[in-house]
Amino acid sequence: MQAPEVQRPPPDWAQYDLMKYLDVLRTNQFATFHNKRIVVQDICRLDRLLADALHGWRDPPALVPAMLLLRSHAAFRAGAGAAMAGQAAEAPCLLRLCLECAGYAAIIGEDQKIAEAFLRRTDSDAARREAQAAFNAGRIKAAVDKLDENLKIVFSTLYESLIDFGAHPNELMMTASSRMERRDTETILNTIYAHGDGLTLNWTLKRTVQVGLWSAKIFVHLFPSRGAEIDADRIIGDISSVY
């Protein structure tokens, strides 16, 4: 169900700490849009490219990969929102999902048997084991290597860096979003839920662009005729030249 357009917060919105936090995130998104205009424009260009490629597309030649690429686009949007809000430890989880959805689309390609294994994952324990064996980071690398060896290398770099900085609970995920402060006999740990301007925000925004580029390139490899219709190679090339 689509929510009605809301011009102002509902009554009692501000009495909850969660809603106040969401307001902070939205304010950060406004600030990022204003202060990081170049990288945000590139994120928006990639979003537009993926939306043009996928939305309203009639009769895709491989349905399951197309559906996965739609989910990849949705994850990209969610990751972009988190990145712009300064959620540097949480954005990598969403950006990893963007990578994996596009990567699973590459694994399937036009192979109906693998597509069926994906769709039947929850049918039984045996089906689950089959899907787990067919869909993982190693399988993504192998599938992408057949499309473009460089894309496999980029995937490995992006995937591991996202895991290090938040897609899995790791040391860098904690320390990059924490500050230690010593006061006399006390040690105070400050955990940053939403970063302001700085190296961490810049890294997260750059990774968002790079993940979006990778997903867009996978789309073009899997569906070249659709990519040609929307001039995807030119747009990808323009943005790739900077990143």
The answer to the question of residue 25 being in a domain is no
- The per-residue pLDDT for 1 is 45
Number of domains in the chain: 1
The answer to the question of residue 10 being in a domain is no
Q: Which residue has the higher pLDDT, 185 or 98?
A: 98
> Is 70 exceeded by the pLDDT of residue 21?
yes
Any long-range contacts for 239-243 (C-beta under 8 Å, 24+ apart)?
Answer: 239/42, 239/45, 239/46, 239/209, 239/213, 240/213, 242/42, 243/42, 243/206, 243/209, 243/210, 243/213
Q: Which residue has the higher pLDDT, 175 or 198?
A: 198
Q: Is the pTM of this model over 0.75?
A: yes
Distances from the Cα of 119 to the Cα of 97, 126, 140, angstroms = 17, 13, 17
The answer to the question of residue 22 being in a domain is no
- The per-residue pLDDT for 183 is 80
> Is 90 exceeded by the pLDDT of residue 5?
no
Instruction: Dump pLDDT digits (tens) for 129-151.
Output: 999 999 999 999 999 999 999 99
- Give the domain range for residue 202: 30-158+194-240
The answer to the question of residue 54 being in a domain is yes
The answer to the question of residue 9 being in a domain is no
The answer to the question of residue 212 being in a domain is yes
Range with lowest mean pLDDT among 9-13, 19-23, 35-39:
9-13
Q: Do 85 and 25 contact (CB within 8 A), yes or no?
A: yes
The answer to the question of residue 107 being in a domain is yes
**189: helix, coil or strand?**
strand
Q: Do 119 and 64 contact (CB within 8 A), yes or no?
A: yes
**Encoded tokens for 70:** 């739609």
